[in-house]
């Protein structure tokens, strides 16, 4: 690929930058380059190797540095910021342990295709490879979990590398990019010029889909009897939810939204059949399983969706559209592979289907809808109360959804509460549910909610966290309180590592090895903990207090609020497809399967 000119008119910057040169240190060049690519917020913690960069950062009028309490928090905050803004999130750390503390968040961003740039200080270049103090080969460590990474030892390379990192993070399939800069490169002087010329040979993501494939897909759509749109996180990342809706309404095809796509198609839409997968609802799982044509858009046939791959959707032809050619036919063979940006793909599909309709070819999905509506009505999501005065966790989520509404951004941790947040909150807007899907990273919620709130200060941001997850990253409450980031956190406190306990209930004969967090002893007491961090702490122990507690939390907008919702420990996430089994064996409760044959 010829070297591309980096244009300020790209997504990376708002104004056209005139070429300019100036002598400065590598550190100053780093800060200047970050300003030029449009960075306004950086989450990080300083230390020896990155210290030279923190000095000019102190003077930047354009960049707000947010001092977090743990680098993992910086990484997830960058992810939350990226998801709320559509821009690149930025985190910064020193060498060695600072950099390795970012690793979990970088892996998380890689799995969920979140555009972040991580900037790390490295020991001075003559020391690299000597086991110098705080040396870690972070480029080596993050090689398999970054879209691309760089080690910079020449100060002259800093501006170009930053421009390249932002370009790579945001274009094509988004993802994390790491820039590791040796301390001596930050300290040395160089000649800064902007804009730089990108040197990314071979990097040219295909965004325009092939018209022959599009025509073929449209033909299959009108011929199919049981088609389904299987929508993944890529559709929102391509900002294609409007196009998706047009395609869905034009064709009349049912839509399933994966965990990463919740909100991309409104839950209230009659064509929405729900979330597929391990904890998806029966209609959505059946829509894929019984389908004769799956149109997969920006999604990757993840094992949590397909269940046992060999028995997944056995009668379906597959149209698979993705910006990343490596995803296509990775898990399931695609009959019609389409490489391209989902917005362009869906836009072109609309045109091609309209052409089919104009020629008098339309799909008839009446029987299919009868079947799916049967599943929808018979197997609507529900839950049991325990018949005592305890609170069902699902009830808390239901009430949150009702009282807070679809305009808020909900950010979940990982576990049962995450699945209930996906199932029982109604999402109507793309991007309104942020969570850790591919990696399943406990500790994601608090810092990601902080980043989301900083990216979208007008939005109400609710973190839905587990009592286990919350204890992994709640130190960022200090950051939120001090930086004035009034997020709200609903801790769904079941006193257990609930999702693991659920598997122990089902598959390990109720032998609860190391999942009891001993909630009765209140160590820690989440209300006191919140107060210690300068937040408001509330507790809700009875179902009749849920509404009033949520309303109270909604009235507090100047400081972060933590609500300790004490819920029953034995609540389970249903439906469930046990790991490694077929989607056909979905259970709606323990030992209870849908009665397929009766409806068919
Ligand atoms: C960092 C990390 N460690 C371990 C796990 C395995 N794991 C998945 S869910 C879960 C329990 C989470 O407990 P909690 O936050 O209380 O959520 P709950 O399931 O109870 O709602 C664990 C330990 C994980 N996903 N991430
Ligand atoms: Mg728990």
User: DSSP states of 73-125 as a string?
Assistant: HHHHHHHHHHHHHSS-EEEEE-TTHHHHTTHHHHHHHHHTT--EEEEEEE--G
The answer, yes or no, to whether any atom of ligand 1 lies below 6 A from the CB of 76, is no
Best of 279, 471, 500, 517 for a ligand 1 pocket test (most atoms within 8 Å of beta carbon): 500
Q: What span, in angstroms and rounded, lies between the C-alpha atoms of 322 and 324?
A: 5
Closest ligand, as measured to the CA of 494: 2
List the one residue out of 599, 591, 555 whose CA is nearest residue 574: 591
Residue nearest to atom 20 of ligand 1 (CA): 498
Closest ligand, as measured to the CA of 566: 2
Decide if 251 contacts 369 (C-beta within 8 A): no
The answer, yes or no, to whether any atom of ligand 1 lies below 6 A from the CB of 500, is yes
Q: Count Cβ atoms below 10 Å from residue 543 Cβ, excluding itself.
A: 16
User: Which residue reads 């209140």 in tokens?
Assistant: 522
Helix axis angle, 393-404 relative to 416-424, nearest 10°? 40
The residues, any chain, with a CB within 8 Å of residue 533's CB and separated by 6 or more, are 474, 475, 477, 478, 480, 481, 560
Q: What are the tokens at 87?
A: 């821009």
Residue nearest to atom 11 of ligand 1 (CA): 497
Burial class (CB in 10 A: 0-12, 13-18, 19+), 300: buried
Q: What are the tokens at 201?
A: 């040979």
Q: What is the pLDDT along the chain (600 residues), one digit of tens a residue?
A: 334 433 433 344 444 555 668 999 999 999 999 999 999 999 999 999 999 999 999 999 999 999 999 999 999 999 999 999 999 999 999 999 999 999 999 999 999 999 999 999 999 999 999 999 999 999 999 999 999 999 999 999 999 999 999 999 999 999 999 999 999 999 999 999 999 999 999 999 989 999 999 999 999 999 999 999 999 999 999 999 999 999 999 999 999 999 999 999 999 999 999 999 999 999 999 999 999 999 999 999 999 999 999 999 999 999 999 999 999 999 999 999 999 999 999 999 999 999 999 999 999 999 999 999 999 999 999 998 899 999 999 999 999 999 999 999 999 999 999 999 999 999 999 999 999 999 999 999 999 999 999 999 999 999 999 999 999 999 999 999 999 999 999 999 999 999 999 999 999 999 999 999 998 899 999 999 999 999 999 999 999 999 999 999 999 999 999 999 999 999 999 999 999 999 999 999 998 999 985 544
Closest ligand, as measured to the CA of 421: 1
The answer, yes or no, to whether any atom of ligand 1 lies below 6 A from the CB of 393, is no
pTM: 0.96
463 C-alpha to ligand 2 centroid (Å): 14
Residue nearest to atom 9 of ligand 1 (CA): 415
Q: What span, in angstroms and rounded, lies between the C-alpha atoms of 565 and 538?
A: 8
Residue 516 is classified by DSSP as B
| Nearest atom in ligand 1 to 420's CA | 21
Q: What span, in angstroms and rounded, lies between the C-alpha atoms of 20 and 285?
A: 57
Label the pairing between strands 89-93 and 41-44: parallel
298 C-alpha to ligand 1 centroid (Å): 27
Catalytic residues: 71, 133-134, 183, 499
First to last CA, the chain: 54
Best of 415, 437, 467, 491 for a ligand 1 pocket test (most atoms within 8 Å of beta carbon): 415
């Amino acid at each position: 690929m010829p070297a591309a000119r980096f244009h300020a008119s790209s997504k990376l910057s708002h104004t056209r930058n005139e070429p300019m040169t100036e002598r400065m240190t590598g550190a100053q060049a780093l800060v200047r380059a970050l300003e030029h690519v449009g960075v306004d917020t950086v989450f990080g913690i300083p230390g020896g190797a990155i210290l030279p960069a923190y000095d000019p950062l102190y003077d930047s009028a354009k960049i707000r540095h947010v001092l977090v309490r743990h680098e993992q928090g910086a990484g997830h905050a960058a992810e939350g910021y990226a998801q709320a803004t559509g821009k690149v999130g930025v985190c910064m750390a020193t060498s060695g342990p600072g950099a390795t503390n970012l690793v979990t968040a970088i892996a998380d961003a890689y799995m969920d295709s979140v555009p972040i740039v991580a900037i790390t200080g490295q020991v001075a270049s003559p020391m690299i490879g000597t086991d110098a103090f705080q040396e870690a080969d972070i480029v080596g460590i993050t090689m398999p979990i970054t879209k691309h990474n760089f080690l910079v030892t020449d100060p002259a390379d800093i501006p170009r590398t930053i421009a390249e990192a932002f370009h790579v993070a945001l274009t094509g399939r988004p993802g994390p990019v790491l820039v590791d800069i040796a301390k001596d490169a930050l300290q040395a002087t160089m000649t800064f010029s902007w804009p730089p010329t990108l040197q990314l040979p071979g990097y040219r993501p295909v965004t325009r889909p092939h018209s022959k494939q599009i025509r073929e897909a449209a033909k299959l759509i009108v011929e199919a009897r049981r088609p389904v749109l299987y929508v993944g996180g890529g559709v929102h990342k391509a900002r294609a939810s409007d196009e998706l809706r047009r395609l869905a309404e034009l064709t009349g095809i049912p839509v399933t939204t994966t965990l990463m796509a919740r909100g991309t198609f409104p839950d209230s839409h009659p064509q929405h059949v729900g979330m597929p997968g391990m904890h998806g609802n029966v209609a959505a799982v059946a829509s894929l399983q019984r389908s004769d044509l799956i149109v997969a858009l920006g999604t990757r046939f993840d094992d949590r969706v397909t269940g046992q791959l060999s028995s997944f959707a056995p009668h379906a032809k597959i149209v698979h559209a993705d910006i990343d050619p490596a995803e296509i036919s990775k898990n399931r063979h695609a009959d019609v592979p389409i490489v391209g940006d989902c917005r362009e793909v869906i836009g072109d599909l609309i045109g091609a289907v309209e052409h089919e309709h104009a020629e008098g070819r339309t799909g008839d999905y009446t029987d299919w809808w009868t079947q799916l509506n049967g599943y929808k009505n018979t197997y609507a999501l529900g839950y049991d109360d325990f018949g005592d005065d305890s609170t069902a966790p699902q009830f808390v989520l239901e009430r949150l959804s009702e009282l807070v509404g679809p305009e808020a951004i909900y950010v979940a941790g990982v576990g049962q509460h995450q699945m209930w947040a996906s199932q029982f909150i109604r999402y109507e807007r793309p991007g309104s549910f942020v969570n850790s899907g591919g990696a399943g990273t406990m500790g994601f919620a608090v810092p990601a909610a902080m980043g989301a709130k900083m990216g979208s200060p007008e939005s109400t941001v609710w973190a839905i966290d587990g009592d286990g997850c919350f204890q992994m990253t709640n130190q960022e409450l200090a950051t939120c309180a001090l930086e004035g980031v009034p997020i709200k956190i609903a801790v769904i406190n079941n006193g257990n590592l609930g999702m693991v306990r659920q598997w122990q209930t089902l598959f390990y004969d109720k032998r609860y090895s190391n999942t009891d967090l001993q909630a009765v002893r209140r160590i820690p007491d989440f209300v006191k903990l919140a107060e210690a961090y300068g937040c408001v702490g509330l507790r809700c122990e009875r179902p009749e207090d849920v509404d009033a507690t949520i309303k109270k939390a909604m009235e507090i907008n100047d400081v972060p609020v933590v609500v300790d919702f004490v819920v029953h420990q034995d609540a389970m996430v249903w439906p469930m497809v046990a790991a490694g089994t077929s989607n056909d064996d979905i259970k709606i409760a323990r030992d209870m399967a849908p009665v397929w044959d009766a409806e068919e």
